[in-house]
Every structure is written in structure tokens, then in C-alpha cells.
């Protein structure tokens, strides 16, 4: 009886071990299946994103063709030469979140020493990389650098430029306090002016260098480019060159104060890159990154003093010019009941096509 009891106990332990083994093997099998299915789903999403712009070509009898397919193909390159403190981090994070799903690459251009201009040799290298780096096409490049004219280097493929601007004084005040208190993006990073408690108003009252209006001279040179005069504060030529480039070289120049509308226009014009961007931005926790930790609004007397400067007046002229052009683009779209900007859809067709 005793031996029979031992045998029964061993059999019970063996069956328990077999049951556990079968259960673990089954769970592992299904986990691997789920992982593989998830990978297949992601690959299918990328494939669908690439094919979507070529579908629904419309009524070919009337000569309609899906023009969005022309706005997205394997050679497309976007350059976002982002101006500091204009919500650029929030916008770029949308691209990083969408790039895998929509099937494009995102690359950060990091310039040594945080300079905003490149040597002529580095410009040539950058142009060469952007136009010939096939493995990273389609791609969106972003970095704090002035506009680069690709035509000067004899290349036929021109990138699509986009940018965001901000009210000049707001940008200067934000940057002033950012250097002292940092932001919510990297809250533990000690900034260059950490520990300096002087307010922007006090700085202006004492005419100190950190709040010099010449520091607002940034959005004009970013759109102007790499010419010497672009970076000379108060240059009338630079202002006109920046306006000219805004109209002829940039697909869209939005303003930070209308960031959601900027994203909506890009989604309509470049769906291959920005499909789903507005909805993602509205619900993403990354939508409003890099908010300065502590910032005091300047007094009226400070504002009046800054507004007397030539640089403020010229930077504001560019900003208002950008707002005017941006609002012109918005008028060609519709607004839904939730206030979201939407594409009207194709508003043209071809007719009287000959020969038949």
C-alpha cells in the first residue's frame, strides 16, 4: 500500500508538471503568434500608406486624376529648418510618431556648436546627402539652420521647405526665461543662465545684452538664408529676401499661434507624410512639449520700449506677412463644426481633351 501511495504521488506530480508545461507552451505559442501578427499589421499599414495616395483616382472619363499621388513618392524630401522657441519640438514629435505608420524617415540635422549657418563645404555635403541618400527617402530633415538654396549647387531635385514663425517679442521673452529656468521637456537639464533671477523687465530697464532687441533678429535670417546680409540686424535687403523666399521657396510657413491649422494644411497637401496628423496632435500627450517652466509677461512699458526698435518692427513685418499668406491658404479650405480645418477635396476637372 505504501509503495502504491508513492507511485500515485509520483504520477500526480508528473501530470501536474506535464499540465504546466503544456500551458506554458500554449501561452508562448500564442504570444509569438500575436507578436508576428502585430508585426504583419505594422508592415501592412506602411504598405497601405504608400498605396493610399494612388487609389481612388476619380472619374477617368472626365480626365480626373488623384493629384495627391504626385505629392508623395519615394524621392520626396521635406526640410523643416526650425526656428528655436516656435513649438518646433511639438511639431517634430508628430513626425516621429507617424513616420513608421506612414512610411517615411525623420532625420535631425545637428550642427556642431549650435551655429545656424554652415560653411560652403558643409552646405555642399548636406545637399549631396539629401539628394542622393536613397535609403532615407522619403524623408523629413529638421534642424536649426538657415535656408539653403539647393539650386546653387546644380542639383535638379529641390526639397520641400516648411517652417513655423512666432510673434517676435513672445519668442524673445520665452527664450530669455528658457535659458534661466529650462522647460518641461528636459526639466533636470541645467541651462546656461541657471540661477539668474533677473526678470526680463529688469533686464530691459538696465539695457543689458541678454534682452537686446537684436536677439529678435532670427526669423528673418532663417528664411533669408546664408548670405552675409541675412544675419546683419536691421538689413532691409534681408527682410525682402525672407519675404521672397517665403513665397517662392516654402510650401507652407505657419505661425505657432495657429499650430493645429498648420498641421491640417500639411495633412491636406502632403497626406503621404502627415496622414492622421491632426487627430494624433489633438490626442497626443506630446502635443505641447517644451513649455518654459517659469515665464513672466513683460510690462507695458517694456513692450513699448522693445517696439521702438527697428529689429522688432522688421521682424514683426515678416511675421504679419507670414500670417497674411497663411490665412490666404486657410480660406481655400473649410472648417467643420468642431473648428477643424479640412480640405474641400478636388475642386477642378479636365475637359475638352483631345485627341479622343
Say if 48 falls within a structural domain. Answer: no
Number of domains in the chain: 1
What pLDDT, on a 0 to 100 scale, did the predictor assign at position 73? 60
**For residues 169 and 263, what is the distance between their CA atoms, to the nearest angstrom?**
24
Domain at 219, CATH number: 3.40.50.300
Contacts within 8 Å (CB) and 24+ apart, 234-240? 234/310, 234/311, 234/314, 236/314, 239/314, 239/317, 239/318
pTM of the model: 0.78
Percent of the chain with pLDDT over 70: 80
Q: What are the tens digits of pLDDT across the range 172-226?
A: 999 898 888 776 555 555 455 555 789 999 999 999 999 999 999 999 999 999 9
Query: Which residues carry out catalysis?
Result: 142, 144
Say if 210 falls within a structural domain. Answer: yes
What pLDDT, on a 0 to 100 scale, did the predictor assign at position 39? 59
**For cell 502632403, what's the residue?**
270
Compute the radius of gyration of the chain from its Cα atoms.
28
Say if 211 falls within a structural domain. Answer: yes
CA atoms within a 13 Å half-sphere pointing along the CA-CB vector of 216: 25
**For cell 534682452, what's the residue?**
211
Say if 44 falls within a structural domain. Answer: no
Say if 81 falls within a structural domain. Answer: yes
**For cell 500554449, what's the residue?**
26
- Reading the block at residue 13, the C-alpha cell is 506530480
Q: What domain range includes position 182?
A: 67-342
DSSP lists the bridge partners of residue 164 as: 254
**For residues 163 and 72, what is the distance between their CA atoms, to the nearest angstrom?**
19
**Comparing 291 with 119, which gets the higher pLDDT?**
119
Say if 10 falls within a structural domain. Answer: no
Say if 102 falls within a structural domain. Answer: yes
Closest CA to 263 of 175, 159, 333: 333
Please list, residue by residue across 283-302, b when 16 or more beta carbons sit within 10 angstroms of its beta carbon and e when fewer do. Answer: eeebbebbebeebeebeeeb
Amino acid at each position: 500500500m505504501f509503495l502504491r501511495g508513492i507511485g500515485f504521488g509520483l504520477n500526480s506530480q508528473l501530470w501536474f508538471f506535464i499540465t504546466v508545461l503544456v500551458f506554458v507552451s500554449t501561452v508562448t505559442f500564442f504570444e509569438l503568434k500575436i507578436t508576428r501578427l502585430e508585426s504583419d499589421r505594422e508592415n501592412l499599414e506602411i504598405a497601405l500608406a504608400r498605396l493610399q495616395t494612388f487609389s481612388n483616382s476619380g472619374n477617368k472619363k472626365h480626365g480626373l486624376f488623384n493629384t495627391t499621388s504626385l505629392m508623395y513618392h519615394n524621392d520626396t524630401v521635406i526640410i523643416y529648418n526650425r526656428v528655436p522657441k516656435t513649438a518646433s519640438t511639438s511639431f517634430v514629435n508628430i513626425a516621429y510618431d507617424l513616420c513608421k505608420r506612414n512610411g517615411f524617415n525623420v532625420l535631425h540635422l545637428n550642427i556642431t556648436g549650435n551655429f545656424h549657418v554652415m560653411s560652403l563645404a558643409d552646405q555642399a555635403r548636406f545637399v549631396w546627402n539629401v539628394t542622393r541618400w536613397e535609403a532615407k527617402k522619403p524623408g523629413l530633415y529638421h534642424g536649426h539652420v538657415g535656408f539653403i538654396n539647393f539650386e546653387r549647387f546644380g542639383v535638379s531635385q529641390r526639397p520641400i521647405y516648411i517652417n513655423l514663425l512666432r510673434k517676435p517679442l513672445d519668442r524673445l521673452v520665452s527664450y530669455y526665461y528658457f535659458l534661466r529656468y529650462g522647460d518641461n521637456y528636459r526639466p533636470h537639464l541645467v541651462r546656461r543662465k541657471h540661477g539668474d533671477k533677473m526678470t526680463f523687465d529688469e533686464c530691459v530697464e538696465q539695457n543689458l545684452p541678454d534682452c537686446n532687441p537684436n536677439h529678435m533678429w532670427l526669423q528673418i535670417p532663417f528664411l533669408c538664408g546664408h548670405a552675409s546680409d541675412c544675419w546683419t540686424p536691421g538689413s532691409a535687403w534681408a527682410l525682402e529676401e525672407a519675404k521672397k523666399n517665403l513665397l517662392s521657396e516654402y510650401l507652407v510657413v505657419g505661425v505657432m499661434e495657429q499650430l493645429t491649422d498648420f498641421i491640417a494644411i500639411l495633412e491636406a497637401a502632403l497626406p503621404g507624410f502627415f496622414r492622421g496628423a491632426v487627430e494624433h496632435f489633438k490626442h497626443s500627450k506630446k502635443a505641447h512639449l517644451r513649455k518654459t517652466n517659469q515665464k513672466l509677461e513683460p510690462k507695458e512699458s517694456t513692450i513699448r520700449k522693445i517696439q521702438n526698435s527697428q529689429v522688432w518692427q522688421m521682424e514683426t513685418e515678416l511675421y504679419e506677412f507670414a500670417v497674411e499668406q497663411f490665412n490666404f491658404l486657410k480660406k481655400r479650405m473649410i472648417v467643420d463644426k468642431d473648428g477643424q480645418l479640412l480640405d474641400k477635396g478636388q475642386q477642378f476637372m479636365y475637359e475638352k481633351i483631345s485627341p479622343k
